[in-house]
Amino acid sequence: MYRDFKLRSALIQNKQLRLLPREHVYDKINGVWNLSSDQGNLGTFFITNVRIVWHANMNDSFNVSIPYLQIRSIKIRDSKFGLALVIESSQQSGGYVLGFKIDPVEKLQESVKEINSLHKVYSTSPIFGVDYEMEEKPQSLEALTVEQIQDDVEIDSDDHTDAFVAYFADGNKVTHKMDSQRELAEELRLYQSTLLQDGLKDLLDEKKFIDCTLKAGDKSLPCHRLILSACSPYFREYFLSEIDEAKKKEVVLDNVDPAVLDLIIKYLYSASIDLNDGNVQDIFALASRFQIPSVFTVCVSYLQKRLAPGNCLAILRLGLLLDCPRLAISAREFVSDRFLQICKEEDFMQLSPQELISVISNDSLNVEKEEAVFEAVMKWVRTDKENRVKNLSEVFDCIRFRLMTEKYFKDHVEKDDIIKSNPELQKKIKVLKDAFAGKLPEPSKNTEKAGASEVNGDVGDEDLLPGYLNDIPRHGMFVKDLILLVNDTAAVAYDPTENECYLTALAEQIPRNHSSIVTQQNQVYVVGGLYVDEENKDQPLQSYFFQLDNVASEWVGLPPLPSARCLFGLGEVDDKIYVVAGKDLQTEASLDSVLCYDPVAAKWNEVKKLPIKVYGHSVISHKGMIYCLGGKTDDKKCTNRMFTYNPKRGDWKDLAPMKTPRSMFGVAVHKGKIVIAGGVTEDGLSASVEAFDLTTNKWEVMTEFPQERSSIGLVSLAGSLYAIGGFAMIQLESKEFAPTEVNDIWKYEDDKKEWAGMLKEIRYASGASCLATRLNLFKLSKL
């Protein structure tokens, strides 16, 4: 029992907490930072009825278990990392101060309430997390004597404190007495608020002390002036005015939906409101009109959570219309993150000039090239050319022309018919041409004319340049070619040029032994993996399907494979995902079937079968074709056959066979050739490397890999070929050889025709699939 009363490690198995007797998990929060170092560590947070547990995502053994028995206080405090959950343990348990960063703030507040509630319940009825039996009669002293067992548990001294305390503004100087007083005051406030709320609702329900009626249409709603005045500056001013008393007793509200008004009034008395997509805008508008901040805030939070590509522009418009910066900024950031997708929508073409300016003037615009902004603006102009040409000059100032290539500027901007016919724009074109030649105009101090479109923004009397000369990169211009390593813990991007790693997304729901693919549109998908759903008795074996949302840094679940399979290959043409052959997970039969996922219809279909049944093969896509290479056939022997699939014709055909039959090997398209490396042959592991010339339909031998391996991750990135990890036969201490995973990185030197080691070990490659992708460094956290 003593061990579980101290702050110590918890037992984590497969990312799940091993529960103590009578322990139940009430909440599990991903993406929680443990602030015990300057950088912090990212992990998962468990809230149970016995304790609080945090473990690092990259290392399960790095964790801490905090039993309620030894918690002295639970608070939200400001730190150099922002608002954080701070847990102080009792002096008997070491006097620790531990901090955790939980985002967003709403989730942090919700978690603190839940922990406080469970802590109070625990204090009333403790659960020690151990099994015990009740004895009806006392045992003798001899029976109670137990042998003393020595263990290796070290007891921390009671004067120990954690360095994390230094991060907090108050320096942890507040005494325990003051903490207790604050806790008591908070409890009293909550109790009084609940009592008052319940009492007011009873008065309304029983129609007691009613002193006014709100009339909307043909419906009259009884109220109390005091409540309306306390909740709304509008009604406070109205009831305190010199207006006739009769008008105060019955307040007639024009152009008000009585059903919406009824919902708002009930909220003022009960703090409960039924918001949905159908009524939120009406409630929001009415709350804004009558200045009811509590309802206004609830609506803003609701709309922020509902932001989607189909409604973000409407929510942006609503935020601007009702002068709500919080909502407008949230919507604008959502649009900026997905600009290339949203600018093609019909709703984008209906934006007003000011609404358009609010979007394209944003530094956060997620575009790799400014050319995309120019093209979106000109398409918007041509949608209603007659009325929008007059606004083009103002919109023009928000385009950052100096971020374009000079060739594009000459070929597309200067030669645009609308721009050529506008004298005012021609003056700006001349200034831009000079800027490309290195001649900038003298900065202006005329802040009245400069306005929001200037390069320097709100700078008072500083020197200013016109907005169209702005050369500050958009956030989307920090995109870089990276190697994405996806395992069952996280998706980590590796930059081989800078030797840096970045966290892209947590991946606890991604099964092991999955397959992954990146499309021509830079969309990352994960398919399959070995996953057993013990609760699903009919179909316990599942092959899940996920897509990475790299803006939100999370995985989106898609329709799973119709039947679970493994050892298959993945291809992609025109955004459609192809799952080729493999093994059935239930029957273990080899497959020749090919599944195709259509993202528009969001469903799987079968297409033309592969000519042979095969598993452990490799599949690669290139220029609208899918190539299937090697693998093992029904007789469990390696094949050297190679097939190509044309989705437009719907047929497979043979190509020149590989020189060496193999399975479980790496494949990549590098400099127009299909390169394969390593794998399993009839003689064991292989180090051989071959390249297939797509133009001549011939194979050629390349320099062997330095070690015989299977399951190499082969990636062609920015003109370079990399080999990551795999399995090799490694000699153990027993002198026996066993297949062992290696997590190194090699680079193929094309000019020297040799492999060069880059990293001896990259831990994020353990159990990972490897992809070449483009990600925005601006949005990633460096590890």
Contacts of 14 (CB under 8 A, 6+ apart): none
CA-closest candidate to residue 779, choices 431, 366, 443: 366
CA distance 82 to 167: 10
pLDDT of 592 reads: 96
Q: Say what the pTM is.
A: 0.66
**pLDDT mean over 426-435:** 92
pLDDT of 4 reads: 37
Query: Are 295 and 429 members of one domain?
Result: yes
Is 521 domain-assigned?
Answer: yes
Could you tell me the two tokens for 380?
């918007």
In the chain the first and final C-alpha atoms are separated, in Å, by 37
CA distance 492 to 763: 10
Could you tell me the two tokens for 116?
């406080």
Query: Are 488 and 347 members of one domain?
Result: no
Could you tell me the two tokens for 12?
């984590």
Q: Following DSSP, what letter does each residue of 345-366 receive, concatenated?
A: SHHHHT--HHHHHHHHT-TT--
Query: Are 463 and 495 members of one domain?
Result: no
Asked if residue 135 has pLDDT above 70, the reply is no
Q: Which of 476, 493, 523 is the last residue of a domain?
A: 476
Query: Are 339 and 431 members of one domain?
Result: yes
Domain that holds residue 82: 2-129+157-174
Query: Are 597 and 656 members of one domain?
Result: yes
CATH number at residue 608: 2.120.10.80
pLDDT band at 38 (very low <50, low <70, confident <90, very high): very low
Report whether 549 contacts 775 (CB < 8 A).
Answer: no
Match 């921390």 to its residue by tokens. 156
Q: How far is CA 699 from CA 356, 619, 720, in A?
A: 54, 17, 20
- Report how many domains make up the chain: 3
More confident residue, 373 or 124: 373
pLDDT of 463 reads: 52
What are the E-state strand segments in 443-538?
Answer: 479-486, 490-495, 500-506, 515-518, 524-527, 531-532
Residues recorded for the chain: 783
pLDDT of 3 reads: 34
Is 561 domain-assigned?
Answer: yes
**pLDDT mean over 93-116:** 84
CATH number at residue 10: 2.30.29.30
SS3 189: helix
Is 536 domain-assigned?
Answer: yes
Report whether 23 contacts 48 (CB < 8 A).
Answer: yes
Asked if residue 7 has pLDDT above 80, the reply is no
Could you tell me the two tokens for 247?
């008008």
Residues 600-630 as b/e (b if ≥16 CB within 10 A, e otherwise) read: eeeebeebeebebbbbbbbbbbbeeebbbbb
Query: Are 223 and 167 members of one domain?
Result: no
Match 């007691």 to its residue by tokens. 208
Query: Are 648 and 666 members of one domain?
Result: yes
Residues 94-125 as b/e (b if ≥16 CB within 10 A, e otherwise) read: bbbbbbbbbeeeeebeebbeebbebbeebeee
Q: Which of 421, 449, 476 is the last residue of a domain?
A: 476
Q: Which of 144, 174, 204 is the last residue of a domain?
A: 174
CA distance 774 to 352: 33
CA distance 118 to 93: 20
Segment holding 498, helix H or strand E: none
Segment 175-181 long-range contacts (CB within 8 Å, at least 24 positions apart): 176/72, 179/72, 179/73, 179/75
More confident residue, 155 or 207: 207
Query: Are 533 and 601 members of one domain?
Result: yes
Is 183 domain-assigned?
Answer: no
SS3 698: strand
Is 195 domain-assigned?
Answer: no
At 548-568, the pLDDT tens digits run 988 888 899 999 999 889 999
SS3 515: strand
CATH number at residue 458: 3.30.710.10
Could you tell me the two tokens for 489?
């813990």
Is 305 domain-assigned?
Answer: yes
At 662-673, the pLDDT tens digits run 999 999 999 999
Q: Give burial (CB, 10 Å; 0-12/13-18/19+) of 524.
A: buried
Q: Following DSSP, what letter does each residue of 249-295 receive, concatenated?
A: HEEEETT--HHHHHHHHHHHHHS-----TTTHHHHHHHHHHTT-HHH
Query: Are 464 and 545 members of one domain?
Result: no
At 326-351, the pLDDT tens digits run 899 999 999 999 999 999 999 999 99
pLDDT band at 280 (very low <50, low <70, confident <90, very high): very high
Could you tell me the two tokens for 525?
């998908």
CA distance 72 to 88: 5
Match 């080999």 to its residue by tokens. 723
Report whether 676 contacts 689 (CB < 8 A).
Answer: yes
CA–CA–CA angle 257, 258, 260 (5° rounding): 70
CA distance 275 to 768: 43
Is 137 domain-assigned?
Answer: no
Could you tell me the two tokens for 588?
């273990």
CA-closest candidate to residue 779, choices 585, 502, 580, 572: 502
More confident residue, 203 or 240: 240
- Cα dihedral sign for 766, 767, 772, 778? negative
Q: How far is CA 417 from CA 406, 420, 433, in A?
A: 18, 5, 17
Neighbours of 214 (CB within 10 A): 22
**pLDDT mean over 466-478:** 89
Query: Are 437 and 523 members of one domain?
Result: no
pLDDT of 466 reads: 82
Is 193 domain-assigned?
Answer: no
Of all residues in the chain, the percent with pLDDT exceeding 70 is: 84
**Mean pLDDT, rounded, of the chain:** 85
Q: Following DSSP, what letter does each residue of 568-636 receive, concatenated?
A: -EEEEETTEEEEEEEEETTT--EEEEEEEEETTTTEEEEEPPPSS--BS-EEEEETTEEEEE--B-TTS
Highest mean pLDDT among 237-251, 294-308, 612-626, 723-737: 612-626
**pLDDT mean over 246-265:** 91
Query: Are 466 and 494 members of one domain?
Result: no
Q: How far is CA 505 from CA 244, 524, 554, 716, 781, in A?
A: 62, 12, 6, 22, 10
Could you tell me the two tokens for 15?
């990312």
Query: Are 631 and 740 members of one domain?
Result: yes
More confident residue, 118 or 383: 383
